[in-house]
Amino acid sequence: MNFLSNLAIPESGERLTLLRYLLVVATIFFATYASIVSVASTFSAVFDWGARKSGIKHYHRFAADLADLAAPNKGIIYSLAVVPLMAIILIYAQLLYGMNLGITSYLVCSAVFFLLGFYVFYGYKRSLHLSPILTAFQRLAGSQGSEAQPDLIKDVESFDYSATKTLKRGGRRSAILFWTGTWFFVGATRLAFTPRQWSDSSLVTILFSNETLCGLLGYVVTALIITSAAVLFFFFKWEGGIARFADDSYSTFVKKRTLPVGLVAAVLEPMLILFEIRNLPQVGLSNLTFVVGCVGMFTALLLVFLFYSMLRDSRINLGSYAFACVVVLVLVWTAKDEIAFHYATRNQTEVLGQRYESMLASLNPGTAQPIISGEEIYDGRCSACHRFDIKLVGPPYNQTLPHFVGKIDSLEDFIMDPRQVVPGYPPMPKQGLKPAEVKAVAEYIMGIYLKSHPQATLADTTKKKI
């Protein structure tokens, strides 16, 4: 998608960070709604098929209600699906500018499948609501006998045939399109934080990789939870729900078909979260990843309790709490992926930041570039907690820097993303330094250390020769 690359321009590190936050927000909106659409359209087609086979009226009504939940109106589709997905595509094109991984291409394919799915699904939804009206009219015309107008009856029969044909094919086709779009979306987002796949990012490899298939399984289970909670909330809580118009038998029918699905999916969710974290690439693991994973498992266990309580006593309706937990669960999955994406593309962020600085320099060739002083950064930030030979808040540099001799890149990574490595000392907070500032202060403190410990340089040189 070269035209998307042409839309991307070099940005500063602060703006790239803002884009990452916007990516999280857009993904939350899209993933939540796309989950409901995919699952609701599938079950709507299943129950419509059951209604045509068995004639059970609750089946047809539930299929129609699920269709209304999936696509209430075109405004919802544009605001919760089209706009967020377009934003996701453009943000990835900006953040991955110059990497040529094909991620934006796969996301564009996902968008095409979703748009086609909505087009087909809207025709299916109209036919779903129109079919009982046409059937009722045919019965009324049949009871009137010769009083009915033949031309009108013929037109109604034609409409009924077209609606029946759309029902038989539209629901199934739209569900296939939605799930295909989901498959492309999951594959693209998994590729974004899996560096070992960047060397071979062909379509077949990505769609059938273990990471994509495992991610798709997690997506399906989470989508079942989201849709179950959405049915309970919008059917029974939102503005009075269907309880205002439905009898008790239909309300009981909906709960019996919804709660078991949500309960089983919620039971599987903690295991899938653990499996996902275990299979994240090494570059995507951090303490924050485990914290987010623990929050997700706790939320899933809370959903198990809520679904089980409602299944045990149908008079209890905790749909609002279940839907609130679902929002947290979606946030967990999105945050986990964004954290992995952030660590996998740190070098890319630094490259984009350097391109931004180069662009500014080219626009102002006569302007001298500011000199970044590692000594000033050390005196202003590091010296409050660190000395070379005495213990302050943090360990002395003479104790820690030997581990980084000849590994200046590792030292820069540690300063950029600090973690606790020396027992007895608190973890160093992030300093919010730019890559160039991190490089300057790392070279400064390592230079001071090597001047006072020349044997460290000699030992490192000897080790490399061996």
Q: How many CB atoms lie within 10 A of CB 382?
A: 19
Q: pLDDT tens across 65-106, in order?
A: 899 889 888 889 999 999 999 999 999 988 887 777 788 889
- pLDDT recorded at residue 86: 94
Residues 182 and 219: beta-carbon distance below 8 Å: yes
- pLDDT recorded at residue 461: 45
pLDDT at 222 over 50: yes
- CA 167 to CA 47: how far, in whole Å? 11
Band of pLDDT at residue 266, cut at 50, 70 and 90? very high
CA 212 to chain centre: 13
Q: Which residue has the tokens 């205002």?
A: 244
Amino acid at 380: G
- pLDDT recorded at residue 139: 61
> DSSP label at 286?
-
pLDDT at 13 over 80: no
- pLDDT recorded at residue 459: 52
Total-model pTM: 0.74
Q: What percent of the chain has pLDDT over 90?
A: 25
Q: pLDDT tens across 330-377, in order?
A: 888 888 888 888 877 777 777 777 676 666 666 666 555 566 777 888
Q: How many CB atoms lie within 10 A of CB 219?
A: 23
**Phi (first) and psi of residue 200, to 5 degrees:** -135, 85
Band of pLDDT at residue 115, cut at 50, 70 and 90? very high
- Looking at mean pLDDT, say which of 94-108, 113-127, 235-249, 369-383 comes out highest: 113-127
Band of pLDDT at residue 466, cut at 50, 70 and 90? very low
Mean pLDDT of the chain: 80
Can you give the chain as a three-state secondary structure string?
CHHHHHHCCCCCHHHHHHHHHHHHHHHHHHHHHHHHHHHHHHHHHHHHHHHHHHCCHHHHHHHHHHHHHHCCCHHHHHHHHHHHHHHHHHHHHHHCCCCCCCHHHHHHHHHHHHHHHHHHHHHHHHHHHHHHHHHHHHHHHHHHHHHCCHHHHHHHHHHHHHHHHHHHHHHHHHHHHHHHHHHHHHHHHHHHCCHHHCCCCCHHHHHCCHHHHHHHHHHHHHHHHHHHHHHHHHHHCHHHHHHHCCCHHHHHHHHHHHHHHHHHHHHHHHHHHHHHHHCCCHHHCCHHHHHHHHHHHHHHHHHHHHHHHHHHCCCCCCHHHHHHHHHHHHHHHHHHHHHHHHHHCHHHHHHHHHHHHHHHHHHCCCCCCCCCCHHHHHHHCHHHCCCCCCCCCCCCHHHHHHHHCCCHHHHHHHHHCCCCCCCCCCCCCCCCCCHHHHHHHHHHHHHHHHHHCHHHHHHHHHHHHC
- pLDDT recorded at residue 464: 47
Task: Give the start-to-end residue ranges of the domains of the chain.
Answer: 2-350, 370-465
Band of pLDDT at residue 144, cut at 50, 70 and 90? low
- CA 293 to CA 289: how far, in whole Å? 6
pLDDT at 290 over 80: yes
pLDDT at 117 over 90: yes
Residues 232 and 310: beta-carbon distance below 8 Å: yes
Q: pLDDT tens across 375-390, in order?
A: 888 887 787 788 888 8
Q: pLDDT tens across 397-428, in order?
A: 888 888 888 788 888 878 877 776 677 777 77
Query: Which is higher by pLDDT, 104 or 15?
Result: 104
Band of pLDDT at residue 462, cut at 50, 70 and 90? very low
For 370-465, which CATH superfamily applies?
Cytochrome c-like domain (1.10.760.10)
Band of pLDDT at residue 11, cut at 50, 70 and 90? low
CA distances (Å), origin 12, targets 48, 193, 359: 52, 21, 10
Query: Which is higher by pLDDT, 263 or 465?
Result: 263
- pLDDT recorded at residue 465: 43
